[in-house]
């Protein structure tokens, strides 16, 4: 299964700018590249902070930008999103019985399942995973206890080394990790956003993880600085491939790369 991963699009109302750039223009460039080069993808997911202020107009703009993609779309909420405004704009996006934007999807041809989680907490920049969400996840995973998981969410549930986020992290990540750790099928990989910089590794429990670079504004990577500069960075997205043998991620960040010269195929060993 091939999945396009985008995160932290931070759209604002039409005609507005955010930190001196146009997030919609940035996302449009990414989606154009996806249409032109990745039309065979099975799914596109955006892992939260779809908008910057939760404005209905920004969600409407997002719907327009996504309307002609050749693959299905799965959207998640981040701390900058508004659950009610999102639901009004995207009534077809799946929710759990508690109204949280959470769902599970089977990977075609494999035992693996994709798990999409909602860590939005109204009025907070940090993430939450309340008992209602945890109970839904326990029940969903119990339906296929031996199925390996690939998990998508907004807030990283581990230490990421960016001091700027010290007070706005995933506040009760332990509740989520307890559920995932107890799943017999294991977690093959976890994908998220929130910190706006690329970040990957493996936890002590063996779970691999990858954080996407922000599609809109990005941070200067001054890890110990509590107030690093926002920078424009480059338009980018990730390509995830899930097979029986491995889960891979390619970061595409050369959409606006400067051409130097043509190359030729390598002859062989």
* Domain range annotation of the chain: 2-252
Mean pLDDT of all residues in 37-63:
98
Q: d(Cα 197, Cα 28) in Å, to the nearest integer?
A: 20
- Residue 100, token pair as written in the block: 């949280």
Q: Is the dihedral of CA 200, 112, 239, 152 positive or negative?
A: negative
Class of domain 2-252: alpha beta
Q: d(Cα 153, Cα 148) in Å, to the nearest integer?
A: 17
Mean pLDDT of all residues in 138-159:
97
- Cβ atoms of 132 and 176 within 8 Å: the answer is no
* Predicted confidence (pLDDT) per residue in 175-224, tens digit: 999 999 999 999 999 999 999 999 999 999 999 999 999 999 999 999 99
Q: Is the dihedral of CA 56, 60, 66, 72 positive or negative?
A: positive
**pLDDT tier at 269, thresholds 50, 70, 90:** confident
For residue 246, the number of C-alpha atoms closer than 13 Å in the C-beta half-sphere is: 2
Q: d(Cα 163, Cα 40) in Å, to the nearest integer?
A: 39
Q: Note the pLDDT of residue 116.
A: 98
Q: Is residue 233's pLDDT more than 90?
A: no
| pTM for this entry | 0.97
Mean pLDDT of all residues in 6-21:
96
Q: Is residue 27's pLDDT more than 90?
A: yes
Q: Is residue 167's pLDDT more than 90?
A: no
Q: Is residue 268's pLDDT more than 90?
A: no
Q: Note the pLDDT of residue 120.
A: 98
* Predicted confidence (pLDDT) per residue in 92-143, tens digit: 999 999 999 999 999 999 999 999 999 999 989 899 999 999 999 999 999 9
- Residue 155, token pair as written in the block: 């807030």
Q: Beta strand pairing status for 187-192 and 199-202?
A: unpaired
Please provide the average confidence, as pLDDT, over all residues in the chain.
Answer: 96
């Amino acid at each position: 299964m091939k999945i396009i991963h985008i995160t932290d699009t931070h759209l604002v109302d039409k005609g507005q700018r955010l930190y001196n750039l146009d997030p919609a223009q940035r996302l449009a460039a990414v989606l154009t590249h996806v249409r032109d080069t990745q039309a065979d993808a099975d799914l596109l997911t955006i892992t939260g902070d779809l908008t910057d202020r939760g404005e209905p107009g920004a969600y409407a703009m997002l719907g327009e930008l996504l309307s002609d993609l050749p693959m299905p779309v799965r959207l998640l909420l981040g701390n900058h999103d508004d659950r009610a405004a999102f639901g009004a704009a995207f009534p077809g996006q799946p929710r759990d019985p508690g109204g949280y934007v959470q769902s599970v999807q089977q990977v075609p041809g494999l035992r693996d399942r994709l798990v999409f989680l909602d860590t939005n907490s109204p009025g907070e920049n940090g993430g939450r995973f309340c008992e209602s969400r945890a109970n839904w996840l326990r029940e969903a995973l119990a339906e296929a206890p031996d199925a390996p998981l690939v998990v998508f969410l907004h807030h990283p549930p581990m230490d990421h080394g960016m001091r700027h986020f010290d007070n706005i992290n995933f506040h009760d990540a332990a509740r989520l990790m307890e559920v995932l750790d107890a799943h017999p099928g294991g977690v093959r990989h976890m994908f998220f956003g929130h910190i706006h910089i690329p970040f990957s590794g493996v936890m002590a429990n063996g779970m691999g993880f990858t954080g996407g670079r922000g599609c809109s504004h990005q941070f200067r990577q001054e890890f110990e600085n509590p107030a690093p500069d926002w920078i424009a960075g480059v338009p980018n997205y990730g390509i995830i491939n899930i097979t029986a043998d491995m889960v891979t991620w390619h970061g595409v960040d050369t959409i606006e790369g400067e051409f130097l010269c043509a190359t030729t195929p390598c002859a062989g060993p």
